[in-house]
Structure 1
Amino acid sequence: MRMTFRWYGEGNDSVSLEQIKQIPGVEGLVWALHHRAAGEVWTEEEVMDVKKQADAHGFHLDVVESINVHEDIKLGLPSRDAYIENYKTSLRNVAKVGAKVVCFNFMPVFDWTRTDLFKEMEDGSTALFYEKAKVDQMNPYDLIEQTTTSGFTMPGWEPERLKTIEQSFDAYKQVDEEALWENLGYFLAEVLPVAEEEGIKMAIHPDDPPWSVFNLPRIITGEKAIERYLSISDSPAHCLTLCSGSLGANPENDVPTMIRRFHDRIAFAHIRNVRIYENGDFIETSHRSKDGSVPIDDVVKAYHENGFTGYARPDHGRHLWNEQCRPGYGLYDRALGIMHLWGLWDAYELVKRKEEANAHVAHS
């Protein structure tokens, strides 16, 4: 397991590279050009600037999250071909700074959905919260205001997307799940050969939450969907980002089982916990299994027993000790999460070594 940390860039992140450097075991940054709108080319000059910053602190840039997919590609519009060509150019340019994995998603209009960015928990910390009844009843435009409260641009809720959100909703009235699958297949047929040529794994992220929101189609929602997705191509570039929090929001999803089944196609692991309530609400918690509904101990065990050598990050975290940060992306709880994940990994390593030593003695 190769530990990474998501970083939004100088001037767009409350966490500094100096601080990330002090978290044990973190070797790389999960990065993106967040000022670039979906569909725009990431230039070689811009990606080289990020590399200079990473190099100064000894980090690699192996994992990109995300080169956003333009809405016209998801909608299957004639204009998609031009945006796909731009995407290919961006892939070639990030390869020049060592990118090995590009995490992306195919969620319509926006990415994740939450109703409260700072829901207070029993211990006084706050976390991202999803209230099912509110989402079921509310107008999606009512969520827009909350995305600007932190002072940071929010992934999946970038200003350029919000300007056209009404038109985007109208456009998806003609796109159902099967059409979205077809448009995803078209996109992959175009970009996978370039990714394979550049040594990049295209790792799709599950939908968050893993069900339809605001009547928009969502397709990467569980084990059967992942099976269908991976069957699209046998290219070594065709891979998966397995997010235990996104998939784990649905109690029907057995995340450890999915890891054991698809481990050889998982290029990037997002490891986080959520607590699910009986009414369908969920809140993001610490990484400890007992604090949420996802068995993080078994999640890490599944990766360990299958010899996972891919990239991982702690994903979201709570907001602790009055930290002023991007919602879900503070320093403290993600650093605590990393240490919990390393603790589990080291414990499984110790057990493995003892079993191997005992087997050696028995054989002798």
Structure 2
Amino acid sequence: MKQTWRWFGPADPVTLAHVRQAGAVGVVSALHHMNRGQAWTDDEVMKRKAEIERAGLTWDVVESIAVPEPIKTRTGDYRQLIDNHKASIRAVARAGIGVCCYNFMAITDWTRTDLDWPLANGGTALRFDIVDFCAYDVLILKRRNAEADHPEGRIAAARQRLASWPESKIAELERNLIDWVPARETVYDRESFLRQLDEYRDTTAEGLRQHLFAFVREIAEVAEEAGVKLAIHPDDPPFPLFGLPRVNSTEEDTQRLLEAVPSPANGVTLCTGSYGANPANDLVRMARVFGPRVHFAHLRNTTREADGSFFEAEHLDGDTDMVAVVAELRSLETREAREIPMRPDHGHLILDDLAKKVNPGYSGIGRLKGLAELRGVMRTVDAFRAGRVN
């Protein structure tokens, strides 16, 4: 697998020099200053590519060309936004970048209740706490009919927890849930978030799924013609939030998309953390079943809890057998004589990074540690397959 690293552009506190020092050879990036659905231009794409190449790296994956809400609801100016997306894919192709990762999550991008959850070793991790989420959804945001989406015991626990929270805790939770994600195209306050939720009031899961299929049919035709691979990212978390439908949370969801749009350009980002937070998903099996349609991999791990909460674990710990996943992906590469770009995802905040301002989940040292561990797994898997060790 080609070892890559997500870089958020010139403002990222983890620089391209740091990426090289970590041992990555490729970069996963986007034009984060053009993330409102506008068409990317050749000049802007080539400017970013040149910056990456001057650092001795290659730009291998675009993550992500924005998919604005009107595309998902097929309302407003969605036709123009789809045309812009196609133009951006063509610009990426002309620059020689081979993979576009994107997602189709309604309103929210990846969502966590805690961005600095304390670990026993003194570091911090990302965490999704289902009771905290319930407290916000039902008692703070007061979303219409939210109570129907949570069991009574969870709501009771949320009421008890909320009673002890200071205003600062409530403000932090709200920011984490609706007002923060690196490079997100839209951020919200409480009122604007409720208005956006209202746009989805009549959207069913099957309706959103059909909108996804229609969108991918269009962009896959362009991507196939241009020589670009599309790699949809799974929902994160892989279950409904805020009453919004989810359409790419399980193996079955993804298989339906691949069958609906059989173009070889239409593929998957195998995110072991996002899929892995759903106990229904078997990541080793998914790597094998999706096979030729795995165009990109996010390798991270999560530890699930009985109530549906989870936290970001060490890359080689958690509920996903990372060694077996890597072995399956390496076998896939050998069978198909190709190299799959991968990146270590969502590292812990540890060591000197604890005192620095970093994008939560995207610290330098935590991802460096994860990449080093994954690199060791890859080398060991290769040694076993070559018969050098037994």
Same fold (TM over 0.5): yes
- Residues 211-290 of structure 1 aligned to structure 2 (within 5 Å): 211-289=239-317
Q: Is the 8 A contact 1:110 1:156 kept in 2?
A: no
Distance of 2:76 and 2:202 partners within structure 1: 15
1:57 is the counterpart of 2:55: yes
- Confirm or deny: 8 A CA contact 1:116 1:129 kept in the other structure: yes
Q: Deviations over 1:280-307 (max 9, x none)?
A: 2111021123xx1211111111112222
Question: Which amino acid letter does the alignment assign opposite residue 3 of structure 1?
Answer: Q
The question of whether the paired residues in 1 share the 8 Å contact of 2:235 and 2:274 is answered with: yes
**Inter-partner Cα distance in structure 2 for 1:163 and 1:27:** 43
- C-alpha displacement at 1:246, in angstroms? 0.3
Query: Residues of 2 paired with 1:215 and 1:123: CA distance?
Result: 36
Q: Match of 1:278, SS?
A: coil
- What pairs up with 1:63-82 in 2 under 5 angstroms? 63-82=61-80
Mean Cα deviation higher: 116-125 or 183-192: 183-192
CA spacing shift, 1:195–1:217, aligned 2, 3 Å? same
Distance in 1, Cα, partners of 2:188 & 2:116: 24
State whether structure 2 residue 375 is matched by structure 1 residue 342: yes
Percent of matched pairs sharing the same residue:
37
Contact 1:127/1:319, CA 8 A, preserved across alignment: yes
For each residue in 1:12-33, what CA deviation from the matched residue of structure 2 results, as whole angstroms up to 9, or x when unmatched? x110111111122x22110011
Compared CA separation, residues 7 and 148, structure 1 to 2 (3 A): farther
CA contact (8 A) 2:111 2:128 kept: yes
- Kindly tell me: are residues 71 and 228 of structure 1, through their superposed partners in 2, closer, same or farther at Cα, counting changes over 3 Å? same
Tell me the SS of whatever aligns to 1:297. helix
Q: TM-score, normalised by structure 2?
A: 0.85
SS in 2 for 1:102: strand
Q: Is 2:41 the partner of 1:15?
A: no
Aligned residues: 351
Find 1:36's aligned residue among 26, 34, 37.
34
Q: Give 2:333's aligned residue.
A: 307
Question: Aligned pair 1:192/2:225, yes or no?
Answer: no
Question: Which residue type is aligned with residue 17 of structure 2?
Answer: E
Equivalent position of 1:3 in the other structure = 3
Letter in 2 for 1:274: T
Alpha-carbon contact 1:61-1:97 (below 8 Å) kept: no
Matched residues in 1 for 2:90 and 2:190: separation? 29
**276-285 or 105-114, which moves further after superposition?**
276-285
Give 1:167-178 correspondences, 5 Å limit: 167-178=195-206
Q: Match for residue 361 of structure 1? A: none
Specify whether residues 147 and 14 from structure 1 end up closer, same or farther in structure 2 by C-alpha distance, changes over 3 A only: farther
Please report how far the alpha carbon of residue 352 of structure 1 lies from its aligned counterpart in structure 2 after TM superposition: 1.2
C-alpha distance in 1 between matches for 2:272 and 2:184? 19
CA distance in 2, matches of 1:189, 1:58: 36
Shift in Å, 1:43: 1.7
Whole-Å separation in 2 of the counterparts to 1:161 and 1:41: 27
Letter in 2 for 1:121: L
Asked if 2 retains the 8 angstrom alpha-carbon contact of 1:286 and 1:333, the reply is: no
Change (3 A) 1:252 1:351: same
CA distance in 2, matches of 1:34, 1:147: 20
- Read off the aligned partner of 1:23 and give its amino acid letter: A
Residues 97-116 of structure 1: pairs in structure 2 closer than 5 A: 97-116=95-114
Q: CA RMSD in A?
A: 2.2
Find 1:207's aligned residue among 219, 235, 249.
235
Match of 2:133 in 1: 135
Quote how far apart the aligned CAs of 1:36 are: 1.9
- Alignment match, 2:146: none
Shift, 1:144, TM fit: 4.1
Give the corresponding residue for 2:153: none
> Helix, strand or coil: the match of 2:201?
helix
C-alpha distance in 1, partners of 2:204/2:178? 30
* 1:65-97 deviation digits (Å, cap 9, x = unpaired): 001101001001152111101111111111222
**Deviation string for 1:304-356 (max 9, x for gaps)?**
2222621100011110114121100011111111111111111111111118x
Deviates more, 1:164-173 or 1:345-354: 164-173
